[in-house]
Structure 1
């Protein structure tokens, strides 16, 4: 049986924005937590990921039976769903058998083009499964979700540190030009992201800085601290900060530090903090990491 279950790049490319940030008191923190939970449990959340299957050039068989190049969960798929064909940067679904009901946006789909760079990739539906094609570098893959995933059924929620008002910080955004961060993910893959600058802040009278990338009108920060591998996830946490609107001042709320998707599922790969973003202090705010995830 050739079963390809390879984690995918979480990266920053597919994360829902968890900024939600306007006010920074405890009541707003509770609202933020509720939105965070809703995002995780949604149809496009991280908990229902069921696999990622890298495609070879030419034909790739898919379905629930042993022997498929890309074996989907047996209990939620007919044995043969068809063939995924990769040719010159385009991906097609072919040879869908009569007993394999596949739809796109509620309409039966019997095959055709399902990926072309620069165009939206349709989401294909079969029973509780949802999948579509992604491109990472020069490689193509099927990203698979299962709405009846055991990770969703067994999810017990997220644990948080108590709200820490002293970790809602006024900070300074210091822009840079032409700087790229060399980022390593949990699988060892290395890639570059442009950084618009760093956020400089004080904790207990000492100055620290964190490098950021940018998503829309927000800064995205991957950071580590000395609580990692103990109270918090060993690979660090994520944090959004709103871009400054006037001047350089921003608000950095460490209570909204949240776990990467790979804390919830084995089917995600996550960026690790760059060396400059490993703080020599504990940040006991935001999401904890516990083994029941």
Structure 2
């Protein structure tokens, strides 16, 4: 299911550019039109010869405008086999182009993984913060800072020592834990994350590091992925879960 989800026509493997929009209308790479953005929203001005369509394939021309909130993205227009995604990151409007025939997509053979290791399935305990903490975090892009909401900490034992990692919460109640470890930059990407099922009423849970996944940045240089908070660093090699794609 993981490989199939990545190999969809306009998924993460299809990204071909990441471009900020300026206040003054101007041209961008890979797509025609005059693009700009300000506090009120983003817009592109195009003519019939630019051959833009809506994401559903209906021809469009003139000036198209759209306003989004921080962190939102949408499929904005298409140009042939190129889908243009509009989004707001770090208070600025950007576009990402997605190519249905990008070589990373057409040549994808699956994500390599470590062999399953039962020693990386560990019991843990969740302690919620009295109030969730919203903290600034770095991202894969040096020009973009985001914020994340941390809801508590997960404590567990690994390699004979007690470890603690801060966690955020998903809509279904599960926890998401982004972390660095000793395999980063050698066998794995710069950081990864593991999803943990919601703890029971006493706070008990199980962390299966064999389910550790890559962020989209492992597959494309045009992703914006939240970095772990500074304390989420394990001084051991977590040889479990997904490896760095080749």
TM-score by length of structure 1 reads 0.74
Query: Which of 141, 147, 167 is matched with 1:192 structurally?
Result: 147
The one of 123, 136, 150 equivalent to 1:182 is 136
Please state how far the C-alpha of 1:60 moved relative to its aligned partner.
Answer: 2.4
Task: Answer yes or no: is 1:228 the counterpart of 2:184.
Answer: yes
- Correspondence 1:1-293 to 2 at 5 A: 35-61=1-27, 70-72=28-30, 81-98=32-49, 100-117=51-68, 121-176=74-129, 177-188=131-142, 189-216=144-171, 217-233=173-189, 235-290=190-245, 292=246
Where does structure 2 lack aligned partners over 5 or more consecutive residues? none
Offset, 1:128: 0.9
C-alpha offsets along residues 172-195 of structure 1, whole Å, 9 cap, x if unaligned? 111112423332223334333220
Q: Distance in 2 between matches of 1:99 and 1:183?
A: 39
Which has the larger strand fraction? Answer: 2
- Residue 94 of structure 1 and its aligned partner are, at CA, apart by 1.8
1:183–1:272 Cα contact (<8 Å) kept: yes
> Structure 1's 114 and 247: CA in aligned 2 closer, same or farther, altered over 3 A?
farther
The 3-state SS of whatever aligns with 2:49 is coil
1:269 match: secondary structure: coil
Tell me if the contact between 2:68 and 2:87 (Cα under 8 Å) persists in the aligned partners.
no
For the Cα contact (< 8 Å) 1:169–1:253, is it kept in 2?
yes
TM-score normalised by L of structure 2 = 0.87
Where in structure 1 are there 5+ consecutive unaligned residues?
1-34, 62-69
In structure 2, distance between residues paired with 1:232 and 1:95: 42
Counterpart in the other structure of 1:31: none
Which has the larger helix fraction? 1
Partner of 1:11: none
Cα distance, 1:197 vs structure 2 = 0.5
Q: How many aligned residue pairs are there?
A: 241
Distance in 2 separating the partners of 1:139 and 1:82: 19
C-alpha RMSD of matched pairs (Å): 2.2
How many Å apart are 1:47 and its aligned residue? Answer: 0.5
SS of match in other structure, 1:123: strand
Whether contact under 8 Å (2:35, 2:43) holds in the other structure is yes
Tell me what 1:25 maps to. Answer: none
SS at match of 1:194: strand
SS of alignment partner, residue 58 of structure 1: coil
Instruction: Report how far residue 272 of structure 1 moved.
Output: 2.7
